[in-house]
Structure 1
């Protein structure tokens, strides 16, 4: 693995900064369409390259954020306009049966902006948030604002930590993994706290 990362680093160091920005931005965008794309690692490597003077960390963040939010917005709009038609069709209903689709829509409507915001910090889940927010026909502002804020926080944190703390290319993968775990735990904790607060409020309202 270290040899592979070193070889990748040497290749990237030989590229113009504009090409590096394009690659990082493209991977950050593709994550919303094909979740297995290693967007976090690509952004981390981009931030690491700021040590070598190849790129500027703040520009890596700006390109990443803009690309990710733009792609998420387009996927949301596709889900809003075409998603329900697809999932109620022959192929879509095989991938996701109507009962499960209805359950997902109910969850999105119930948790709204907070659910979208926290879900965007969960690895593997963040990519499916935009299309199903669209399928559930949540409002544009209600959907895109929390997506954009969560994306800004996540990629800002990722870029800042790696740009300041990664001394070797191997540190990038380690730090990306740690940050994913930390944000996952924080998101789950915050989500649990919100659910508990809502339940207590409902119990209080019923007791009045």
Structure 2
């Protein structure tokens, strides 16, 4: 790999981004395509490592002729599947009953909430696994409930491979076409990731507010009944 090519593309963000870039560059210099795949596998296990950096960087490397474009897409997709399988295994090891027991101990969470979640996953699990591969943050964690619910491994592998292939191809191609401006992908996707985080936080706050309100109403009704 040409050691002078990637530093020209590095963004001015510094800090964590530069560290990730240096790390990924080191892997690809040492291992080539498998290095990009390893980086993506670890990204699945440790979401703070952004695929929005790794994938365009692999595409940029391919544009310099140091890595084949198809090779970059294939290896990053293999990495995505390996990382997803590891998380699926964690979910399967945890198991449905153990998960229910742990979730039931979480404040404000009811067994009925868990039942509804399981019913939802039974109906929409395949779509969640497929489309979840293309949503920041969820793309990693969706593998765990799939494992808990013991989704068919061939189905899980098929959906994960297809969804990851689409996501990886888009971002590798973006880096390939943008060349030394590959870091713009991470810059704009950062806004999307932040929007997802904000949406999750709003949903959590709304859940807490509604549940506390319902508990207070239940307490008031019990108190009024006792007075009677």
Q: TM-score, normalised by structure 1?
A: 0.69
The aligned residue for residue 136 of structure 1 is 149
* Distance in 2, Cα, partners of 1:41 & 1:135: 30
Unaligned runs of 5+ in 1: 185-208
* Deviation, structure 1 residue 8: 7.4
* Distance in 1, Cα, partners of 2:87 & 2:77: 15
* Distance in 1, Cα, partners of 2:12 & 2:35: 21
Whether contact under 8 Å (1:40, 1:176) holds in the other structure is yes
The aligned residue for residue 201 of structure 1 is none
Q: Say if 2:167 is the partner of 1:154.
A: yes
The aligned residue for residue 12 of structure 2 is 2
Q: Name the SS of the counterpart of 2:183 in structure 1.
A: helix
Q: Deviations over 1:33-85 (max 9, x none)?
A: 22222123112112112233332222121111001112212321331243335
Unaligned runs of 5+ in 2: 1-10, 197-228
Q: Say if 2:64 is the partner of 1:33.
A: no
Q: Name the SS of the counterpart of 1:166 in structure 2.
A: helix
* Deviation, structure 1 residue 149: 0.6
The alignment of Structure 1 onto Structure 2 pairs a total of residues equal to 181
* Distance in 2, Cα, partners of 1:150 & 1:135: 20
Q: TM-score, normalised by structure 2?
A: 0.64
The aligned residue for residue 138 of structure 2 is 125
The aligned residue for residue 166 of structure 1 is 179
Q: Deviations over 1:171-200 (max 9, x none)?
A: 34246558x68xx9xxxxxxxxxxxxxxxx
Q: Say if 2:67 is the partner of 1:55.
A: yes
Whether contact under 8 Å (2:62, 2:176) holds in the other structure is yes
CA RMSD of aligned residues (A): 3.3
The aligned residue for residue 87 of structure 2 is 75
Q: Describe the shift of the 1:44–1:112 C-alpha distance in structure 2 as closer, same or farther (beyond 3 A).
A: same
Whether contact under 8 Å (2:77, 2:165) holds in the other structure is yes
Whether contact under 8 Å (2:21, 2:53) holds in the other structure is no
